[in-house]
Amino acid sequence: MKMQNDVVPPSTPLPLQAQFVTITEEEAGQRIDNYLLRICKGVPKSHVYRILRSGEVRVNKGRIDQLYRLVQGDVVRIPPVRIAEKADATHVPAAEFKVIFEDAHLLVIDKPAGVAVHGGSGVSFGVIEQLRASRPDAKFLELVHRLDRDTSGLLLLAKKRSALTNLHEQMRDGHTDKRYLTMVAGDWKNARQHVKLPLHKYTTADGERRVAVQADGLPSHTVFTLLKKFKDFALLEAELKTGRTHQIRVHLSSSGFAILGDDKYGDFALNRMLLKADATRGALKRMFLHAHQITFTHPESGKIMTLNAPLAAECERFLVSLGKPLN
């Protein structure tokens, strides 16, 4: 017999009878439409919103709209829905990544370059899907933020919804500090330089996501600190004051300093040359952008935490190959 607080796992097809689910502490705080989309795997989004509009979904026996935020202890009535199983569902291989920090609330990993953080846009699966596959007993695991596929370094994941909400608030209010190491081509002059260029996000005709500097774009601010200067290159630390898509890459490219190996905004002829070593340097076969440090307040203890990930090995080898810096 089904009890009122029997929670139907997201991976289990809902039977063709109404279910009554009691919202747990971890599920509280999310909108009812997002909750239904998560647990009703395989149900078209249009159908989920139809049953919401029709009043078939009830909370504590009353009608709600799609903007209602769930509260711990709410009893949600989920009407009968038939879930279409995908015959060609892609198998997600379980994978673990280098763990920088983990406790009951957070998981912080060192993401390698070339791995997307989540599936979509031609990518079948990413870090989050692989981690969930390797941790089938995890009740909750969500990305706190994102890194570009070709960027390596620190990636935060929340193991509790309360931690996710708290960290999102910190990032929105500017209470986190994210820093990246990057190498650019050119004669970088300033020890410390602020770049404030508005960024506009758009999609190309073939569906590729791009960002450009545009007057009516979103305000964006990056602070660059010169760490090492070489004859043709400079190693910089980038400090994000805002967190826009491709912000560091576009701010540098628009300032005349392309990130080495950047295949969207970089110097494509130089990138091709870097694929092979020469007498002055080693080879570089990836984008030189690495999330090396993040500072935030632990969502449970309130402790200020600063975490670091060493420069990725392939970037470190290239850096060493350049020899002694000029500064």
Positions marked catalytic: 148
CB environment 18-45: b (16+ within 10 A), e (fewer): ebebebbebbbbbebbebbeebbbebee
Whether the Cβ atoms of residue 178 and residue 294 lie closer than 8 Å to each other: yes
The residues with which 156 forms a beta bridge, in sequence order, are 108
Burial class (CB in 10 A: 0-12, 13-18, 19+), 233: buried
Contacts by 118-126, CB closer than 8 A, 24 or more apart: 118/143, 118/146, 121/207, 121/209, 123/149, 124/90, 124/92, 125/90, 125/92, 125/93
Return d(Cα 176, Cα 27) in angstroms, integer. 25
Dihedral, CA of residue 194, residue 196, residue 202 and residue 204, to nearest 10: -50
How many helices (H) and strands (E) in the chain? 7, 16
75-78: strand order across its sheet: 19-22, 75-78, 58-59, 62-63
Return d(Cα 164, Cα 158) in angstroms, integer. 5
The terminus-to-terminus CA distance of the chain in angstroms comes to 74
